[in-house]
Amino acid sequence: MFHERQDEHYSLVLELAKGDPAKPAQKRADDERMGEEMRLLYVALTRARYVTWICVAPQGFKTGGSSIDLHKSGLGYLLAGEGTVAPDWLAEVVDAFAKGCDDIAVCKAPAQTEGVHVAPARPTVS
């Protein structure tokens, strides 16, 4: 699914095909998804008033576990470009980036707990 760039109205197109004929449409859909991620990232990084929290993690491992799909996310694309990277690369880049600015703190995510959050019951209105 992608927006037709040749159409002045940018009509939404759903292309159903398998194999090689679908590759151009899939590439366009991926490009559009990445564009939206980059726009959201830009807004998150430039519009915060007090603090911005960014959680970063590998998107998934390539076959064999020798590289990660970080480049498939907006932040990953910004840091790594279009290529895959080694699993340890992300931590090294983030740490190096943070060393240049006292206002950036890098910390590990808290350990997962056994408990599950349950929202409080809504009061009944009579």
Domain ranges of the chain: 1-49, 54-107
Tell me what pLDDT residue 39 has: 93
Q: What is the pLDDT along the chain (126 residues), one digit of tens a residue?
A: 566 666 666 677 666 666 677 778 788 888 888 899 999 999 988 998 888 888 776 666 565 666 777 777 888 888 888 777 777 788 888 888 889 888 888 887 777 777 777 788 887 777
Task: Show Cβ contacts of residue 3 under 8 Å, excluding neighbours closer than 6 positions.
Answer: 10, 11, 12, 13, 32
Tell me what pLDDT residue 42 has: 92
pTM value is 0.58
Please measure the distance between the N-terminal and C-terminal CA atoms of the chain and give it in whole angstroms. Answer: 47
Torsion-angle region of 10 (φ positive above 0: left; ψ -120 to 50: alpha; else: beta): left
Query: What phi and psi, each to the nearest 5 degrees, are found at residue 68?
Result: -115, 160
Sign of torsion, CA 19 22 28 30?
negative
Tell me what pLDDT residue 26 has: 80
